[in-house]
Amino acid sequence: MSFFLPGDIVSHDEALVCGVGTYLIGGVIRASLSGRCVVEGGAVSIQRDLNSTASSLVPEIGQLVLARVLRISPLVAYCELLLCEGKPTAAHSGVVRREHVREGEVDTVKMEECFLPGDIIQAVVASLGDSRSFFLTTKAVHCGVVAGKAEVSGNPLRAASVTEMEDVESGVREKRKVAIISE
C-alpha cells in the first residue's frame, strides 16, 4: 500500500524508528497522518498528500477516538482528533479535563504525569463539549497513552504499567496514564 490513513500499519521492521506522522504501538509502526510513506536515514515518516481530504466523520458520544496531545495545562490536555472508530476524521479538537483522566483519585491527578505534548492517546467521546472542542475521557482501562516519545532521549516509549511507560532503549520510566490494550 503506498497511501496510508491514520491507524494503518506502516511497518513491522524493528530496525526502523518512528518519524513525522507515525507512532509505535505493540511493536508496530502506524500512521498518524494521511499520506505516503517515506523512509530516510532509518526513520519511517508519512508525508501528507496535500491533494487529499480527510473524511468529514463527526465523532459522537461514546465513540472511541485516537488523538494527539498538543499541549497541557494543570486542568486540561488539549488534543487534535486523528481517528474516530478507526476512520480518519476531519480537523476536530478535543480536551481531556482532569476529572476525566481516571476513575477516582480526581484530586490527586497531575496532568503532566498523565500526558505530554506529542503523546498519542486513545479516548472515548464523553460529550459534544463546546463550540471549540469535544470533551474526551480516558477513565476506562483501555484508554490513555498508546504511544509517545521519551521526554529526554526522544526514543519511543512502551507500556510498563498502568501509570508508567519506559524508553525502549534505556528502560528509563516516565509517568503517564497508560492505555491497557490486549492484543
Q: What is the CATH number of the domain that holds 78?
A: 2.40.50.140
Q: Are residues 162 and 176 in the same domain?
A: yes
Q: Are residues 105 and 157 in the same domain?
A: yes
Q: Are residues 40 and 61 in the same domain?
A: no
Q: What domain range is 99 assigned to?
A: 54-183
Q: Are residues 60 and 86 in the same domain?
A: yes
Mean of pLDDT values over 110-134: 90
Per-residue pLDDT at 71 exceeds 50: yes
Q: For residue range 135-180, what is the model confidence (pLDDT) as tens digits? A: 999 999 999 999 989 888 888 888 888 899 999 888 899 999 999 8
Q: What is the pLDDT of residue 85?
A: 84
Per-residue pLDDT at 5 exceeds 80: no
Q: What's the chain's average pLDDT?
A: 86
Q: For residue range 82-107, what is the model confidence (pLDDT) as tens digits? A: 888 888 887 789 999 999 998 877 78
Q: Are residues 39 and 62 in the same domain?
A: no
Total domains present in the chain: 2
Q: Of the candidates 13, 30, 48, which is a domain's last residue? A: 48
Q: Are residues 71 and 41 in the same domain?
A: no
pTM above 0.85, yes or no: no
Q: Are residues 28 and 79 in the same domain?
A: no
Out of 23-32, 58-67, 139-148, pick the least confident. Answer: 23-32
Burial of 1 (0-12, 13-18, 19+ CB in 10 A): exposed
Residue 76 CA: distances (Å) to CA of 2, 30, 69, 117: 37, 26, 10, 12
Higher pLDDT, 113 or 56: 113
Q: What is the pLDDT of residue 2?
A: 66
CB count within 10 Å of CB 169 equals 11
